[in-house]
Chains A and B, each alone.
Chain A
Amino acid sequence: MSFKDEFKQEMSKISPTEEQAARIRDGVYKRLSEQPKPTKKRKTPLFFAAAVPAAAALLGIFVILRFSLNNRINVNENIGNTGNAGNTAISDDKAADNDTAPSLSGQDKSEFTSNVSSEMLGGEQKNDITVGLCGTSCVLFADGEKRVYQLSARANTPPEGMLSAQTENGEHIFVQFDEKTLTVYFPKNRDVLLFKTAV
């Protein structure tokens, strides 16, 4: 008898008995008749569930603070140098919205400021004009009058015909004003701030 025949003969004995076959069949039908258990939705581990939104929130906060602080620092430097309260935040967007004010940066700005002199700006000395800056408000004392303006924008170019003035700390500045608007030029830090009459 060949190996194949012998193997077949022997393997054929390894066959489920009637009892085993019945058990298999009954087991299959029993499992089929069972209601499928509702699959438990696998809970995302708490670490991952919390980490993703937290990371997103932190990133968002970081981005907001990053730009917000940048703007604040820039303006603070400008206004702080005038010796006034330095907590004014001026959005660059406002400056950008000012169509009449072309952007100046780097070399352009230095060229601009080097050419600016008190003569060009008018140079009319009126030492009785004093400007007080506090936050976004600006108080102008001129000819015995007091006017209050609110910061509205920042410009890059000072207008012509500005009057010489000083801040309450004695810093020399240039101003141009009427009943509705006030333009203040800080020659020290080459900044031009536009104010409007406070409503």
Chain B
Amino acid sequence: MGLSLKTADSFDEVMRLYTPTVYRIAFTRLKNAADSEDVSQEVFLRYFKANITFQSEEHRKAWLIRCAVNCANSAAGSAYARHKDNSDDWEQLADSEMLSDNVTEENFERGERRKTVLDAVMSLPPKYRTVIYLFYFEDLQTDEIAKATGLRGATVRSQLSRARELLKKILGEAEL
């Protein structure tokens, strides 16, 4: 039996469950909170209108991820996105943590370190950022990433490999 969601409650549940995932995918691509919110709205709007009967929760998640990737790519390709000055919102997270009242030396070091990791990832080309996010954060296999992004499996593996190489250069770590 499928998992078609048409009632408002279940739609709420889907939004509650997947908003962070969709938002992060958009943020990884766009590096901007407001744009990521817009993309999230668009994704759930499409989800509701599509009225698809999903065979499993993984199927639903894969659909939402793919939709989020596509919407984020579209948003990034818009004239507005190409001409606006992207402020790197993620930097504010580490900064806010370091500037908070209970900053300790350990927190400060942790903040610097995290900022460096995020800096490294966010400094990658967009296509690599998405692959890295899906692989390391969503724990998707390359084949699953391929399905979610519409790329070929070999392309995903190639992008992942190149992204790792770049990250190694930036972070100076032997293994990722």
On chain A, the residues within 8 Å of B128 by CB distance are: none
Is B45's CB within 8 Å of the partner chain A? yes
Mask of B20-64 contacts with A, CB within 8 angstroms, 1/0:
100110011000010011001100110010000000000000000
Q: How far is the CB of B42 from chain A (nearest CB, A)?
A: 9
On chain B, the residues within 8 Å of A57 by CB distance are: none
Is B79's CB within 8 Å of the partner chain A? no
Is B176's CB within 8 Å of the partner chain A? yes
Q: How far is the CB of B138 from chain A (nearest CB, A)?
A: 10
A9-B24 in contact (CB<8A): no
Number of chain B residues close to chain A: CB under 8 A: 33
Q: How far is the CB of A27 from chain B (nearest CB, A)?
A: 4
Asked if A16 meets B19 with Cβ closer than 8 Å, knowing A3-B176, A8-B137, the reply is: yes
- Other CB < 8 Å A-B pairs besides A7-B118, A25-B19, 7 of them? A3-B167, A3-B171, A3-B175, A7-B137, A14-B27, A23-B37, A31-B41
On chain A, the residues within 8 Å of B152 by CB distance are: none
Q: How far is the CB of A128 from chain B (nearest CB, A)?
A: 95
Is A117's CB within 8 Å of the partner chain B? no
Asked if A7 meets B121 with Cβ closer than 8 Å, knowing A14-B24, A24-B19, A25-B15, the reply is: yes
On chain A, the residues within 8 Å of B118 by CB distance are: 7, 10-11
A3-B37 in contact (CB<8A): no
Is B117's CB within 8 Å of the partner chain A? yes
Contact partner of B24 (CB less than 8 A), chosen from A6, A11, A21, is: A11
B136-A8 in contact (CB<8A): yes
Q: How far, in whole Å, are A8 and B135 apart by their CA atoms in the complex? A: 11
The residue on B at minimum CB distance from A1 is B113
A16-B23 in contact (CB<8A): yes
Q: Give me the interface of A with B, judged by CB distance under 8 Å.
A: 2-4, 6-11, 13-16, 20-21, 23-25, 27-28, 31-32
On chain B, the residues within 8 Å of A23 by CB distance are: 37
A24-B137 in contact (CB<8A): no
22 contacts between A and B (CB under 8 A): A2-B175, A4-B136, A4-B176, A6-B114, A7-B117, A7-B118, A7-B132, A7-B136, A7-B137, A8-B137, A11-B137, A14-B93, A15-B24, A16-B37, A20-B23, A21-B19, A23-B37, A24-B23, A25-B12, A28-B45, A31-B41, A32-B45
Q: How far is the CB of B145 from chain A (nearest CB, A)?
A: 15
Q: Give me the interface of B with A, judged by CB distance under 8 Å.
A: 12, 15-16, 19-20, 23-24, 27-28, 33, 36-37, 40-41, 44-45, 48, 90, 93, 113-114, 117-118, 121, 132-133, 136-137, 167, 171, 173, 175-176
On chain B, the residues within 8 Å of A32 by CB distance are: 45, 48
On chain A, the residues within 8 Å of B15 by CB distance are: 21, 24-25, 28
B37-A20 in contact (CB<8A): yes
Q: How far, in whole Å, are A3 and B171 apart by their CA atoms in the complex? A: 10
